[in-house]
Amino acid sequence: MWRLLMQQKRHLALALVSLLICVSMNLLSPVLQGMLFDVLVRGQHFSEYSKLFLGLLFIYVAEPLLSQVYILNACAAGEKLQASLRLEAFRCLLAQRVEFFDRHSSSRLTQLLSRDLDSIRAFVFTNSARDRGPRALLEALGSVAVLFALSWRLGPILAAVIVASVCTAFLYRRQTRALEATSAAAQQRLAEVASSSFANMRTVRIFAGEALEQQRFGQQVARSYASGLGFARAKAMLEGINRSATHLSLLALYALGGHLVNNKLLPVGVLVTSIGFTFSLVFATQGMLQTFADLRGMVASVRRVRATLSELPPDESMAQALPPLPEAPWEYPLVAPFSNGDGPLGLADEGPVPVGAANGSHVVAGEGLAVAAAQCGDLRLEGISFSYPVRPGAPVLKDLSLTLPRGKVTALVGRSGAGKSTVAALLERLYTPDAGSITLGGADIRAFTRGEWCGALAAVSQEPVLFPASIAYNIGYGRSMQCTQAEIEAAARAANAHEFIAALPEGYATVVGEAGSLLSGGQRQRIALARALLKDAPILILDEATSSLDVENERLVQAAIEKLMEGRTVMVIAHRLSTVQNADQIVVLEAGQVVEQGTHKQLLQRPGRYSALVSAQELTLQQTLL
């Protein structure tokens, strides 16, 4: 954080210089006011009064202008610091292993990037005012110093105000320390409950769960209210003590100051100056106490971000594959790929769009090594054992060995929970096996960079994931937007998606909504398939890729898939017989192990798990089964 802060030396220097001048003017102002009273009381020549008046006029004109310079530069430094921290935190999250996201909810991670890091902006904005932050601290210290210089008899009174306020602050801190942790946890849980309710609103509607969701949210509101009320009690106590200290200091100042003036030991102007400083000092002291509380809150937020990001080591290969951040992240080009621009991507459609277009420099690493290996070698899983990191005591795969021959289609079948999707996740390098190895052409897949491996593999999952962006963006994502509109449309046609896309009012520029909620299940599946078709990778993983299509669309898409499969290494996970019966080999999994392997005809000719699955209709029988 210090490194990022030092990048704003220009803003910080301007803020510091303007702050010091403003504080000096504010300290000089009560002194000049006291001198004005002295001139009037003593009946001195009007020219003396005019000089003092012009001095005050200059301060009243210049100080607001310099305050603007201070606030503008302080806030600019804070905004730039926050922008840098947000991008670095997001980059760090992108480089985390998938198990990290298994442990943390998306609402919690979103809260880290939004509310927690926004505490920096709130701290700078709030504490750039005159009665808060460094300005209040300097004015409080300066006020005591000036008063001691003017009258050593009155200075201790104001020093006592500071001591009383500091003691109160420590008491306040002790009372609110536990409340801060409780409040932060309540706010986090509040956001999680709301996020889960909105994300699963269709399920809530179907099962009439509105009352239950209201109850869950209400419980978190009650917890948040309880912690907030505790803060209110502590705040009320702090305010009461501070106000009492203010009144006592004023009474002491009037009593002692009046006595000194009456005995000709103190000029009346010094007493007026002291009274002015008393009010300034009280407000500054209260502001400092609130600043310290804000500072603790900001530090706690930054620590939460740091603790979360450092909980697990990042994926080094993923971190190396990410493009470098620009030197000035607050000047990131405002490219809008989610909406209409020159084309449906929000970018020009004349030719391929480099993935580094957003920052103007970086292009994704070459994909040649893994692609070349996939074109000349088999994909092997040897002695694979695996448990999900969040459930280390529950093995999913046990000493599994499997070969996916180059250019052939391998179908995985088995009951739910047999480990089929886990095999796909390991091939996609979402997780690392606990034991065993995965090789491509004899080389461990970990020898390939993340960019190289991703360039050699395309996948369509059982539940397609779409971004809340345009259809063109979701399809073009398969090639990191390095594609033309014509290529996107060709992929959509191959996936039997072009017809329904063209019928939409905005065509390929149609925004699909949260997780594709504005499209039907079959439409989402075809867009996901088009994305994989566009990638044109030598290794293809299909996890129930045609599960959401009707019979006619499945026939058309299946024809496109069969054409795509030619010459590629394909792994298919499916329950429909029409999908698996023509595979070059069918592998039956049970309890994380291979129990049968062969072609469709071979497996049906002998009693076993596959024939039992077919007989029990756990594979969807089509009219092709004779």
> Can you give the CATH number for the domain in which 585 is found?
3.40.50.300
pLDDT in tens, 563-615: 677 778 999 987 767 678 888 999 999 989 999 999 988 998 888 888 887 77
pLDDT of residue 324: 75
Q: pLDDT tens digits for 181-191?
A: 677 777 778 87
pLDDT (mean) for 503-530: 85
Count how many domains the chain has: 3
Is residue 326 included in any domain, yes or no?
Answer: no
Q: Which of 383-397, 432-446, 568-582, 592-606 has the lowest mean pLDDT?
A: 568-582
- C-alpha to C-alpha distance for 42 and 89, rounded to whole angstroms: 65
Q: Is residue 46 part of a domain?
A: yes
- pLDDT tens-place string over residues 303-325: 888 888 887 777 777 777 677 77
DSSP codes of every residue in 493-549: HHTT-HHHHHHSTTGGG-B--GGGTTS-HHHHHHHHHHHHHHH--SEEEEESTTTT-
pLDDT at 57 over 80: yes
Q: Which of 516, 536, 556 is the last residue of a domain?
A: 536
Contact assessment for residue 180 and residue 230, using Cβ atoms and an 8 Å cutoff: no
Per-position b or e across 437-451, b if 16+ CB within 10 A of its CB:
ebbbbeeebeebbbb
Domain boundary among 484, 508, 536: 536
**Are 345 and 484 in the same domain?**
yes
Q: What percent of the chain has pLDDT over 90?
A: 14
Exposure string over 424-436, b if 16+ CB within 10 A, otherwise e: bbbbbbebebeeb
pTM of the model: 0.72
Statement to judge: residues 255 and 395 lie in one domain: no
**Shared-domain flag, residues 213 and 81:** yes
CA-to-CA dists, residue 260 to 199, 270, 430, angstroms: 72, 11, 80
What is the rounded CA–CA span in Å between residue 202 and residue 308?
A: 31
Q: Is residue 9 part of a domain?
A: yes
| Out of 21-25, 93-97, 281-285, 350-354, least confident range | 350-354
Residue 366: per-residue pLDDT: 41
Residue 477 has pLDDT above 50, yes or no: yes
Are 483 and 421 found together in one domain?
no
Domain holding 474, by residue range, is 333-363+466-536
Is residue 325 domain-resident? Answer: no
Rounded to the nearest angstrom, the gap between the alpha carbon of residue 50 and the centroid of all alpha carbons in its chain is: 59
Residue 258 sits in the same domain as residue 392? no
Give the integer Cα–Cα distance in Å for 124 and 249: 31
What confidence category does residue 412 fall into, taking pLDDT thresholds of 50, 70 and 90?
very high
Report the distance separating Cα 94 and Cα 318, nearest Å: 8
Say if strands 379-387 and 457-460 run parallel, antiparallel, or are unpaired.
Answer: unpaired
Same domain, 356 and 383: no
Does residue 217 fall inside a structural domain?
yes
In a domain, 529, yes or no: yes
Q: Based on the fold, state whether residues 382 and 529 are members of the same structural domain.
A: no
DSSP 220-288: HHHHHHHHHHHHHHHHHHHHHHHHHHHHHHHHHHHHHHHHHHHTTSS-HHHHHHHHHHHHHHHHHHHHH
Q: Which whole number is the average pLDDT over 283-302? A: 78
Is 232 inside any structural domain?
Answer: yes
Exposed e or buried b for every residue in 2-12, given b needs 16+ CB within 10 A? eebeeebeebb
Q: What is the dihedral of CA 619, 622, 624, 625, to 10 degrees?
A: 50
| 414 backbone φψ class: left, alpha, beta (φ>0; ψ -120 to 50) | left
What does the pLDDT read at residue 11?
86
Select the more confidently predicted residue: 382 or 49: 382
Last residue of a domain, one of 512, 536, 560: 536
Residue 581 burial by CB count (10 A; 0-12/13-18/19+): exposed, middle or buried? Answer: buried
Q: Look up the CATH number of the domain holding residue 254.
A: 1.20.1560.10
Q: What's the pLDDT at 223?
A: 82
Phi, psi of 401 (to 5 degrees): -125, 135
Same domain as 442, residue 521: no
Q: Are residues 134 and 153 in the same domain?
A: yes
Same-domain status, 178 and 57: yes
Task: Evaluate whether residue 107 is within a structural domain.
Answer: yes
In angstroms, rounded to a whole number, what is the distance separating the alpha carbons of residues 361 and 318? 18
pLDDT for 293: 73
548 and 532 fall within a common domain: no
pLDDT tops 70 at residue 22: yes
The answer to whether residues 338 and 311 belong to one domain is no
